[in-house]
Amino acid sequence: MFWKIEVFDQPGIFDAVGAGVEKDILDLGIDSVKKVSFIQVYHIEGAISRCELEKICAELLADRISQDYRIADEKKQSSPKGGFIVEVAYNPGVMDPVEDSTLKAIRDLGIGGVTSVKTAKRYLLKGDLDESQLKTISEKLLCNKLIQHVVKLPACRTGRQVTRHKSQELGYKFSLVIVDLLEASDKRLLEISSQGQLFLNVIEMGRIKDYFVRLGRNPADCELETIAQTWSEHCGHKTFRGKIEYKEIIGSQVHKVITHKRIPAPPMASGTRAQGKTLKIDNLLKSTIMKVTKELNKPWCVSVFKDNSGVIEFDEKHNVCFKVETHNHPSALEPFGGANTGIGGVIRDPMGTGLGAKPFLNTDVFCFAPPDYPFAKLPKGTLHPKRIAKGVVSGVRDYGNKMGIPTVNGAVLFHEGFVGNPLVYCGTAGIMPKDKSFKLTSAGELIVVVGGRTGRDGIHGATFSSGELTHESETVSSGAVQIGDPIQEKKMLDTLLQARDLGLYTAITDCGAGGLSSAVGEMAQELGCRVDLEKVPLKYKGLSYTEIWISESQERMTISVKKEKLTRLLKIFKAENVEATVIGEFTDTKRLQLFYHNHLVCDLDMKFLHEGLPKTEKKAVYTQPEHREPAIPFKKDLTAPLKKLLGRYDICSKEWVVRQYDHEVQGGTMLKPMVGVVNDGPSDAAIVKPVLDSRKAVIVSNGINFRYGFIDPYWMAASCIDEALRQIIAVGGSLEKVALLDNFCWGNPDKPDRLGSLVRASYGCYDIAKAFGVPFISGKDSLYNEYAVHGKSQAIPGTILISAISVMEDAGKAVSMYAKNPGDLIYIVGATAEELGGSHYYGLFGSIGNQVPRVDPKRALPVFRALSRLSQAGLIRAMHDCSEGGLAVAAAEMAFSGGLGMDLFLSEVPYEPRQKARNDFVLFSESNSRFIVEIDGSARKEFEKSLKGIAHGLIGCVSGGSGFKILGLDKEICVQTDINDLKESWQAPLRW
Amino acid sequence: MRPKVCILRTAGTNCDKETAFAFQQAGAQPELVHVNKLISREKTLSDYQIFVLPGGFSYGDDIAAGKILANELRCKLNRSLKEFIAAGKLIIGICNGFQVLVKSGFLPGNDALEQEASLIINDCGSFRDEWVYLKSQVKCVWAKDLPAEIYLPIAHGEGKFVVRDNQVLARLKKNNQIVFKYRNNPNGSLEDIAGICDLTGRILGLMPHPERHIDILQHPRWEKTAGKKIGHGFLIIKNGVDYARNNLRR
């Protein structure tokens, strides 16, 4: 039998879900919906009596205090007066996240006959709507057709819909698919690549053909897919590891020297760049990012660029690891699912590092188009940025919170350039015992897959991320979108850590992009393996051997287990309802051999698979842009611009996002993302104590500012490193033990201009990180971030995210950013230059400018070190780094977060004007390596003594009231307002 | 003697370790026990003096927060729980644990274990993490000698306390079962209710997380706490442990 049950709120109970949808409909620009009511729908299938059904409804599905239920009757089904019904259900084959647990609960009730539970969401919309408005609400808001569909009503005839759910259960009949490569022309090779979504170029396809010519046979589809996955940009980092011919063009001339001395001269030369017209780079990663690490050779770097995340030493007993990943393309198509599985995926990186680390913090950084972007301007096939933003935030919230990992730090930025392709960076840090930090598989060990089952979801994710988005992406690549199941991952984590501590496995890695093909392929790289694909547990029947092998179904990890430990291992998983299955064995054949019911479906040489990828050869040209210098009228009163800056989407309060994340689970979060006298000010970096009975802590921070990249990606990278580091200093940390992650999101690297700016940014990373003495330990690149606008491909703004992790000896030495006491002195430390290029102040006038903030490590290092010593000595009451919006924004944030006023005077700011000194430039310049510091008056002597030789100025004091006043260079008032007004300007824009 | 504490785990539990840490700091001997082990009788509830339902998303909060675990307790562990309670032992449910206790009928509590209250979606419609001031009200074992106002974080999406009818509310008031009230209601709870106990005062359920305010460094403005070392949450946990040590036999 088949039943449909509707669960809804009792009269008088506030329908919070419905109210949320009402708000979202207003965001769509539709104001005629008066009320939305939400109804949860369950489809229950099975041989149960009416009485049993009533019991399920009354005791389980409906909350008897606040809800009622109705067992649906088709005859009574009609649209409410003056209203509409929209019912949204999951597509066949998409996992219903509620099914398993609900079935379990029904069994707990003692009812055994239920075979299937599916859910749907129904919305009753009251108000006047025309057909197209209803369609907009259904398609743009309530339903994402990649995973859901709108149910045609009335269609709930008892016993009828069963076939729909069953359709996916069709069996699969084995037949080996052979691809004819041997006879294929170059044209045909490219066709095979594009039809199979392999995203391989003709040289790569040719190399594969040569391999099979040597073997004297054609490949099976599965072999081709395996190679494509392993060689994808996503897994192989072809661009960064390939060859690049790079040149720079300044003005109209080809620049003949690559050193940056000529392009507005950087303060240092890396000394590594040869003279000549073009620079030939063999492996950009090794020439820049990894080179820093190698040259610095820090003894506390435990494992870098090898494992699933970078590992550094934490204390005598533990190491910590950190990784940031992106999930941009999936989030563009299905924001909730994309971000959900993005955070789910990066959590598995620490879990798959060494023998498995316990994740203890998450970070997230997003770039969206502005939330007020006009609907009419949206490129075809793209979702509105506000919808994307809300979906992404919900996706991260859902997964992070349910995993019980605090999301402690992040950033949200906005620019029109992200309209078709948002950026979703998710990061996770983990902690593990020192003796569990390395893995070693040997031949004869069993391959065990743990966690979720394998389905058709996420097929071609790795190769999909290696291509550009088009308006057809959502139809062509719908398989690339997955749905996460955080509880599955949590169960897996709980049990894996038990097995790890008992020493029951020797290696672990996660099934991320490329699924089993890359997980097993990687683990067996030095050995060889044999896998019996039919042993992989499936969500439903019908998957081909190739689909099983490359599916990117979430929540799966692969481990290597010695035969004698298998029984004990399996017992641990079974005890907590986690599936673990032996699917094969590591061998010493140096071959990847896959079988499906004893049919050999893949037999590849490991060496060819992992080393056969031909080095790509790409051209890169960096052309220095020339922007118009804005002529900004001189204004005496700068209060209004300050308020406008505080209200810029990038600068304003992200409390709406932050509050939705559990940032305190696990009990270790010390310096929280929102701080202040009423906990609503913007904290610089987060401090987390991963070991509860120790005061030792980890600091994490993020530096990102794509606007500087519009002027010069070199200085963008430099500024991002400076920002990440100065946030660590601002919260009381030091540069003693800081490690960085790089994360490049760029356009198509096959286009020389895109690659040119990428190369230039990489050199920025090398020079500045090296000069600061901070190594990179891991990183990620997401290239091909382009989307079609009216048939023309558009790249996102090339964006680098620098994430920093640092070990702090004593969390008790932390410093927060909000003003503490009336009468305290306010200093600025670090010099202010006239660097407004890419600033938000120029942004107010629609300009970019050319004077981008630079970084001079020789001047910055003494600043960082001195402030670090001072906070260790307990002399600093509050400290905030100057970043977007400059010193005025930083000081305002400190004041209103502390609920205290400030009196400041600009004449004491160490400032180097290029031409005529201007108040607005001093206030809003975004020069790097600067801090606003609050100290007690009694500490003045010692404080100033410590800053000898360092640019600093006593620029004012904390006042008792709520006034915020700044005297300009001419000693006349240039800003005068109330902290509550400033706070309102800062809080209003994203108060969703 | 260190009282033995059973901290219940299941799929989706995620505050178990810091809760165990809090009980350990307070002088107890905590043990993380998976619900399967209690059902299979590999572990026995009667071996413990305190039963803790920690925070998290048991079974993903599918259907409704805490619902599936509540159902499991009712169907599978009903008897051992009743015996545990009858033996005068202590129970605390934090956040998801409170949702479980309410939805399984152990709070506010009646002989038939009939559900009389619930915790439903916050009025704001979404999950919220923030620190709240709580007024503590009565002589619940766990709330003994607390300061007039305490400071703890909440982190939940379904924490709005509601009751079946006015009689339930009147009874809660009359019997002094309302233990904590929010100073500023964050979720729309009836009468600002943040936590309640049963008639005996030995079973406490609350939405805020005491285990997240054990050490003063967890306080959002620790710099301004003038040399204090202990967080308010510790006092709650310690009350339970002290009571168990003084009144319950191991």
Q: What is the pLDDT of residues A951-967, one digit of tens each?
A: 999 999 999 899 999 99
**C-alpha to C-alpha distance for A506 and A633, rounded to whole angstroms:** 67
| Minimal CA separation from A906 to chain B, in Å | 29
Q: Per-residue pLDDT for A262 more than 90?
A: no
pLDDT value of residue A616: 87
Q: Answer yes or no: are the C-beta atoms of B130 and B208 closer than 8 Å.
A: no
> What does the angle CA B228 – CA B230 – CA B235 come to, to the nearest 5 degrees?
130
Q: What separation in angstroms does the CA of A38 have from each of A21, A236, A992, B63, B151?
A: 9, 46, 20, 14, 35
Contacts of A105 in chain B (CB under 8 A): 59, 63, 67-68, 71-72
A94 contact partners, CB below 8 Å, separation of at least 6: A147, A148, A457, A483
> Which of A108, A491, A494 lies closest to B72 in CB terms?
A108
pLDDT tens digits, residue range A600-643?
999 999 999 999 999 889 999 999 899 999 999 999 999 999 99
**Cβ contact (<8 Å) for B11 and A662?**
no
Distance, in Å, from the CA atom of A746 to the CA atom of B99, rounded to the nearest integer, reads 46
What residues in B contact A66, CB-CB < 8 Å? Answer: 118, 120, 162
Pairwise pLDDT comparison (A331 vs B17), residue with the higher score: B17
Q: Name the maximum alpha-carbon separation found in chain B.
A: 50
Please give the Cα distance from A738 to B148 (Å, whole number).
43
- Would strands B90-94 and B203-206 be described as parallel, antiparallel, or unpaired? parallel
- A491 in B contact zone (CB under 8 Å): yes
Tell me the C-alpha distance between B28 and B245, whole Å: 9
- What one-character-per-residue DSSP string does A144-195 give? -TTTEEEPPSS---TTTTHHHHHGGG--------B---TT--HHHHHHHHHH
State which residue of chain B sits closest to A487, comparing Cα positions.
B12
> How far apart, in Å, do the first and last CA atoms of chain A sit?
44
What is the C-alpha separation between A691 and A697, in angstroms, rounded? 8
Whether B11 and A60 lie within 8 Å, measured CB to CB: no
Hey, is the C-beta of A257 within 8 angstroms of any chain B C-beta? no
Tell me B33's DSSP state: E
Which chain B residue lies closest to A396 (C-alpha atoms)?
B127
- Per-residue model confidence (pLDDT) at position A226: 93
Is residue A797 a contact partner of residue A761, using CB atoms and an 8 Å limit?
Answer: no
Chain B nearest-CA distance from A59, in A, is 8
Strands B160-163 and B178-182: unpaired
pTM equals 0.94
Euclidean distance between CA atoms A63 and A7, whole angstroms: 9
The token duo for A813 is 């030495």
C-alpha–C-alpha distance, residues A916 and B89, integer Å: 77
| CB-based contact, B76 to chain A, within 8 Å | yes
- Asked if pLDDT for residue A274 goes beyond 50, the answer is no
Q: What is the pLDDT of residues B164-189, one digit of tens each?
A: 999 999 999 999 999 999 999 999 99
| pLDDT band, very low/low/confident/very high, at A13 (cuts 50, 70, 90) | very high
For residue B94, give how far its alpha carbon lies from the nearest alpha carbon of chain A (Å): 12
Own/partner pairs, A167-173, CB within 8 angstroms, 24+ separation: A167/A92, A168/A92, A168/A93, A168/A540, A168/A542, A169/A540, A169/A541, A169/A542, A170/A541, A170/A542, A171/A541, A171/A542, A172/A541, A172/A542, A172/A543, A172/A544
Average pLDDT over residues A969-981: 96
Whole-number average pLDDT of chain A: 90
Query: CA A493 → CA A173, A327, A403, A497, A503, distances in Å?
Result: 35, 22, 9, 6, 15
Q: What is the pLDDT of residue A924?
A: 97
Q: What is the pLDDT of residue A144?
A: 78
Rounded to whole angstroms, the Cα distance separating A541 from A510 reads 23
Q: CB distance from B15 to chain A under 8 Å?
A: yes
Q: Which two tokens stand for residue A701?
A: 């921070």
| pLDDT score of A258 | 40
Across the interface, whether the CB atoms of B12 and A487 are under 8 A apart is answered yes
Which residue of chain A has the CA closest to B37? A575
When CB atoms are compared, the residue of A16, A664, A812 closest to B217 is A812
Q: What is d(CA A973, CA A639) in angstroms, rounded to the nearest whole number?
A: 10
Instruction: Decide if pLDDT at A165 tops 50.
Output: no
- If pLDDT is split at 50, 70 and 90, which confidence band does A564 have? very high
Q: What is the pLDDT of residue A275?
A: 37
Torsions phi, psi for B86 (to 5 deg): -65, -30
Main-chain phi, psi angles of A878, to 5 degrees:
-155, 150
How large is the angle between the packed helices A486-501 and A566-575, nearest 10 degrees? 140
Q: How far is CA A555 from each of CA A92, A297, A451, A483, rounded to the nearest angstrom? A: 20, 35, 6, 10
Q: Which of A479-493, B24-38, B139-153 has the lowest mean pLDDT?
A: A479-493
Identify the closest residue of chain B to A992 by CA–CA distance. B124
B229 reaches A (C-beta below 8 A):
no
Q: A81 pLDDT band (50/70/90 cuts)?
A: low
Residue A199 has pLDDT above 60, yes or no: yes
Whether B33 contacts chain A with CB within 8 A: no
pLDDT tens-digit readout, A32-78: 999 999 999 999 999 999 999 999 999 999 999 999 999 986 555 55
Give B194 or A231, the one with higher predicted confidence.
B194
Active site residues of A: 234, 327
Check CB contact of B14 with chain A, cutoff 8 Å.
Answer: yes
pLDDT band with cut points at 50, 70 and 90 for residue B23: very high
Say what the pLDDT of residue A157 is: 40
Contact at CB, A660 and B128, closer than 8 angstroms: yes
User: Is the minimum CB–CB distance between B174 and chain A shorter than 8 Å?
Assistant: no
B59 and B10 Cβ atoms separated by less than 8 Å: yes
The DSSP output letter for A653 is -
User: Nearest-CA residue of chain B relative to A119?
Assistant: B63
Note whether B117 contacts A65, CB cutoff 8 Å: yes
- Which A-chain residues 863-882 have CB contacts (< 8 A) with chain B? 877
Across A843-867, b (16+ Cβ under 10 Å) vs e yields bbeebbbbbbbbbbbeebbbbbbbb
Task: Please report how many Cα atoms fall inside a 13 Å half-sphere around the Cα of residue A307, on the Cβ side.
Answer: 31
For chain B, first and last CA: distance in Å?
8
Q: Find chain A residues with C-beta within 8 A of B162's C-beta.
A: 13, 65-66
Residues of A in contact with B43 (CB under 8 A): none
Residue A251 is predicted with a pLDDT of 62
The vertex-A135 CA angle with A129 and A139, nearest 5°, equals: 135
Peptide bond into A614 cis (omega under 30): no
Annotated catalytic residues of B are 95, 209, 211
Whether the per-residue pLDDT at A244 is higher than 60: the answer is yes
Q: Where residue A742 falls among pLDDT bands split at 50, 70, 90?
A: very high
β-strand partners of A510? A557
Residue range A288-298, pLDDT digits in tens: 999 999 999 99
- B67: chain A residues, CB-CB within 8 Å: 60, 63, 105
**pLDDT band at residue A158, thresholds of 50, 70 and 90?**
very low
Check: CB of residue A389 under 8 Å from CB of residue A395: no
For residue B17, give how far its alpha carbon lies from the nearest alpha carbon of chain A (Å).
7
**Chain B residue nearest residue A398, CA to CA:** B127
Residue A469 has a pLDDT of 62
Residue of B nearest to A683 (CA): B220
Instruction: Give B158 to chain A, closest Cα distance, Å.
Output: 10
Instruction: Report the residue from A63, A109, A402 with minimal CB separation from B120.
Output: A63
Q: Is B180 on the interface with A (CB under 8 A)?
A: no
Task: Measure the CA–CA gap between A799 and A405, rounded to whole angstroms.
Answer: 26
Q: In this complex, is the C-beta atom of B56 within 8 Å of any C-beta atom belonging to chain A? A: yes
